[in-house]
A and B are shown apart, each in its own frame.
Chain A
Amino acid sequence: MSTDITIDPAHTTAVAQPGLLRSAMKLWRTRIGVALVVLLVGVAIVGPWVAPYGPAEFVGTANLRNVEGAWLGTDYFGQDVWSRFLHGGRSILFLASVATLIGFFFGAAIGLVAAYNRGRIDDALMRFMDIILAFPQLLLALVALTTVGPQSWLIIAIVAFTTIPRIARITRGAAVPVVERDFIGAAEALGESRLRIITRELLPNVTGPLLVEANLRLTYSIGIIAGLGFLGFATERNAADWGLMVQENRVALSVQPWGTVLPAVAIALLTIGTGLISDGLARTVAGIDRGRPDA
């Protein structure tokens, strides 16, 4: 509901160089980001295989810092903190990546179609997107969980659905100036199909801003899904989940900090990693340092 007087966030419309990722890797922030993400994704994927105990295996008295065979102690239920940590990243990463990917696909498609067609289709699509934006993502997820409970498909669907308008806006913003350019007119004159113009002419020219936004959305998807886990809505009962672990163990924070600190730091490093990658990409795409108008 803010189209008339919004000063368009008008992201950069720089034409993406083929080596965008490679140029971004020249920045230290991107390198650190990639290192953090690789580390945490590695823990999440390999973790369950190397964990000394199962995710819900009882190993001793609850909330102990020094236990034989559990080097970081036990959690609120007497389970091994280290093992639960190693098991707890997979579901968050899986749900967040799938949801972001789906949202990215539809968001980019809607943004490109709106930018290419303009006029009524554009107006209608973007109005609808604004209405979805009226709701904080986490809140919509919570409302949807009310009658169904924390099911994986539902969490993926809601996070993907709420990611769409955010990606669509950025895509449209980046694509509108491209549509005005001569080569689009040339392609139309040559009689290329709409689909071809959108996918072959328009899309390659907005990949920069799109990649930045997709990365940023991934950061937020991880935050929301971890946040749902923290609120007690992890997809499986008794499963290890970094978000849920923070909730479970925070009461015993002063006697056994590891149960809270370890998963909290893991989520922090993971999101900082993806955030740094977004920033590195953004700087590379823009060529200048402008920060990002965003919410």
Chain B
Amino acid sequence: MGILKLILRRLMLGVATLLVVSVAVFLLTNVLGDPVKRMLGRGALPEVVAARRAELGLDRPLVTRYFEWLKGLLTGDFGTSYANGSPVWDLLEDRVNNSLFLMAVASAISVPLSLFIGAYTALRRDKWFDRIMSNQLLVLAAMPEFVVGALLTVLLATNVWHLVPAVSRIRPGEPPWSDLDGLVLPVLTLVLAVTPHVGRTMRAAMIDVLESDYVEMARLKGLPERKVLWRHAFPNALGPTLQVIALNIAYLAGGVVIVESLFNFRGIGIALRDAIPEANAPVVQFIAMFIALIYVISNLLADVATILVTPRLRTRLQ
């Protein structure tokens, strides 16, 4: 099986996943409850409800609406907000950019950091650095992000020290890097949320690899230890870790909802939070599909990268 064929198969699987997710998102936001009733409240007159429903096009059959929505997603027409009638994309465009920037910065810091911590603690297994790190990561991994973020605010932005602002102040229309000070706490919180998982996976994978025959072999051949580690051990440990990195990038996409709310960061997370009490289904649907897309893409990249990085899989495919 060629590598291209495998990538193609993954791609199709990704598209299939997105389709299933789209059905689930559409059903959850249309069938589970009635957005119009939730918007207008329980006391609304039936005529008013019916009129509003017709106005929003919700009186047509479900299946027709689903396919229209799907077609819209594919052609870049993401519908209009129930709350004010403006196109969803106009409302969310700069928020999407802000959130992507936040996620990119958080990943750029947390991925190398956690790989390093994982590999280093595996090398120094059961030494003091490993013990302290393992316990730290365990504690961090258990705490929800908003708790970590709130405690960081207490520590760094308000009560103990005043090093960084407690809230982000990106104005509409300004790029996300216009307020770098305000980016510190959101990024730090996300990094602390993701690093433990990836770090622990990397440590476990590295320990496995270090005990393997081929590392033993490389050492017996008399290769310098540095070469053994970077040429032989590290790439092989990276394979299983990449999958977890992909899962965690998807997780970051969910985590931004919490982190953005905590630090008033102008992104899709806050938009999602605010759309829910309004039962603003088009906004929720768009953000949900966007995050699912991030998941599928990061998974695809992880799959391809795993093949490229793992010698055994690489040769099997040739």
Q: Which residues of B contact A133 (CB under 8 A)?
A: 247
| Contact between B240 and A293, CB atoms less than 8 A apart | yes
Residues of A260-276 at the interface with B, using a CB-CB cut-off of 8 Å, are 260-261, 264-265, 267-268, 271-272, 274-276
Q: Is the CB of B28 within 8 A of A143?
A: yes
A254 an interface residue at 8 Å Cβ cutoff?
yes
Q: Say whether B92 faces chain A, with CB atoms less than 8 Å apart.
A: no
By a CB distance below 8 angstroms, the chain B residues around A290 are 204, 207
Q: Is the CB of A146 within 8 A of B248?
A: no
Judged by a CB distance under 8 angstroms, whether A246 is at the interface is: yes
- Which residue of the partner chain B has the closest CB to A266? B147
Contacting residues, chain A, for B4 (C-beta < 8 A)? none
Interfacial residues of chain B within 242-279, with CB under 8 A of chain A in the complex:
243-244, 247-248, 250-251, 253-255, 257-258, 261-262, 272-273, 275-277, 279
Residue of B nearest to A233 (CB): B276
Using Cβ atoms and an 8 Å threshold, which residues of chain B touch A154?
32
What residues of A have a CB within 8 angstroms of the CB of B243 in the complex?
A: 2, 6
Task: Establish whether residues B200 and A291, one from each chain, have CB atoms under 8 Å apart when the complex forms.
Answer: yes
Range for the number of chain A residues in contact with chain B: 35 or more
B239 CB–A CB distance under 8 Å:
yes
Known: A146-B35, A231-B273, A250-B150. A295 touches B197 (CB 8 A): yes
**Chain A contacts of B279 at CB under 8 A?**
146-147
* One of B34, B150, B166, B284 near A246 (C-beta < 8 A): B150
Contact B33 A148 (CB under 8 A): yes
Contact B146 A246 (CB under 8 A): yes
- Decide: A253 and B158 in contact? CB cutoff 8 A: yes
CB within 8 Å of B: which A98-150 residues: 130-131, 133-140, 142-149
Q: Does A253 lie within 8 Å of B154, measured CB to CB? A: yes
Number of A-B residue pairs having CB atoms within 8 Å of each other in the complex: 203
Query: Interface size of B by Cβ–Cβ distance < 8 Å?
Result: 80
Contact B295 A135 (CB under 8 A): yes
**Complex Cα–Cα for A277 and B302 (A):** 31
B257 cross-chain contacts in A, Cβ below 8 A: 138-139, 142, 231
Question: Considering the chains assembled together, what is the distance between the CA atoms of A125 and B303 in angstroms?
Answer: 21
The DSSP consensus for interface residues of chain A is helix
- Is B29 engaged at the interface, CB distance under 8 Å to the other chain? yes
In the complex, the chain B residue whose C-beta lies closest to that of A157 is B32
**Interchain CA distance A135-B29 in the complex, whole Å:** 15
Segment 226-258 of A: residues with Cβ below 8 Å from B: 226-227, 230-233, 243, 246-247, 250, 253-254, 257
Partner of B303, one of A5, A147, A224, A253: A5
Name A267's contact: one of B143, B280, B302 (CB within 8 Å). Answer: B143
Is A200 on the interface with B (CB-CB < 8 A)? no
Interface: A223 (CB within 8 A): yes
Q: Nearest chain A CB to B111's CB is how many angstroms away?
A: 14
Chain A residues within an 8 Å CB radius of B146: 226-227, 230, 243, 246, 264
- Interface membership of B191, Cβ < 8 A: no
Measured CB to CB, the closest approach of chain B to A279, in angstroms, equals 6
Instruction: Report the minimal beta-carbon distance from B198 to chain A, rounded to whole angstroms.
Output: 9
A236 to nearest B CB, angstroms? 15
Q: A135-B292, A227-B146, A271-B144 are in contact. Are A260 and B154 (CB under 8 A)?
A: yes
In chain B, positions 201-241 with a C-beta closer than 8 Å to chain A are: 201, 203-205, 207, 239-240
Determine which of B25, B142, B248 lies in contact with A274 in the assembled complex, contact meaning CB atoms within 8 Å.
B142
Given A134-B17, A250-B153: A295 touches B158 (CB 8 Å cut-off): no
- Residues of A near B303 (CB, < 8 A) are 1-2, 5
Is B151 on the interface with A (CB-CB < 8 A)? Answer: yes
- Does residue A7 face the partner (Cβ distance < 8 Å to B)? yes
| Chain B positions near chain A (C-beta within 8 angstroms) | 6, 10, 13-14, 17, 20-21, 24-25, 28-30, 32-35, 38, 126, 134, 138-139, 141-148, 150-151, 153-154, 158-159, 166, 197, 200-201, 203-205, 207, 239-240, 243-244, 247-248, 250-251, 253-255, 257-258, 261-262, 272-273, 275-277, 279-281, 284-285, 288, 291-292, 295-296, 299, 302-303, 306-307, 310, 313
Chain A to chain B contacts (Cβ below 8 Å), 30 pairs: A1-B13, A1-B14, A1-B17, A1-B296, A5-B239, A130-B17, A131-B20, A134-B296, A136-B295, A139-B288, A143-B288, A146-B29, A146-B276, A146-B280, A147-B30, A230-B144, A230-B146, A230-B258, A230-B261, A246-B147, A254-B158, A257-B159, A267-B143, A271-B143, A271-B144, A289-B126, A291-B200, A291-B203, A294-B200, A294-B244
